[in-house]
Amino acid sequence: MFDTMVITKAVAAFCGALLIFLLGNWAANELYVPRNANAPQAFSIDTGADEVDAEPVAELTFDEAFEVADAAAGSRLWSQCRACHALEAGRNGVGPYLHGIVNRQINAVDGFNYSGALTQAGDVWSPDILSAFIENPSAVAPGTSMNFRGISNVQDRANLIAYMESES
């Protein structure tokens, strides 16, 4: 069944197909790749995007942001917290209820089993400690069971804390 002629035909077919693909590649490169594709850029247009601002924008401190905080803007941020927490007193979810959280003792909610890592955060949930905790919970209380990526914008954190305070 496999004699010399069959093997010769198979090798010839393979070589012919390879030759067709190589010629097709060469034709496509000639048709679609410009001759000056590797040439250096002839000119550039300055859009001003690379310029650095003359004076850097000063970032607000948390105290300044908290003074001008908008509780209404914090209500839309509350949806991130609502998945695990509630603002009604005594209604614990995955996390403890946050009614009256501002200036409340840490680990003070009855009926909620805390992970124990919050003792490193301090004694009272002051707005500053809340802000730091909302920014990065695992940095303030390493080992906390709160799985939250954090909110980096200082004004958003201030708005959220003002909303929680106003709803309490």
Q: For residue range 62-98, what is the model confidence (pLDDT) as tens digits?
A: 788 888 888 888 888 888 888 888 888 888 888 888 8
Domain edges within the chain: 1-33, 62-167
pLDDT at residue 121 tops 90: no
Residues 6 or more apart whose CB falls under 8 angstroms from that of 112 comprise: 92, 95, 96, 97
Q: For residue range 46-60, what is the model confidence (pLDDT) as tens digits?
A: 887 766 655 666 777
pLDDT at residue 32 tops 70: yes
Amino acid (1-letter code) at residue 62: F
Q: Which residues pair with 105 in a beta bridge?
A: 124
CATH of span 62-167: 1.10.760.10
**DSSP-based helix, strand, coil % in the chain, nearest 5:** 45, 0, 50
In three-state secondary structure terms, 4 is helix
Q: Which residues pair with 69 in a beta bridge?
A: none
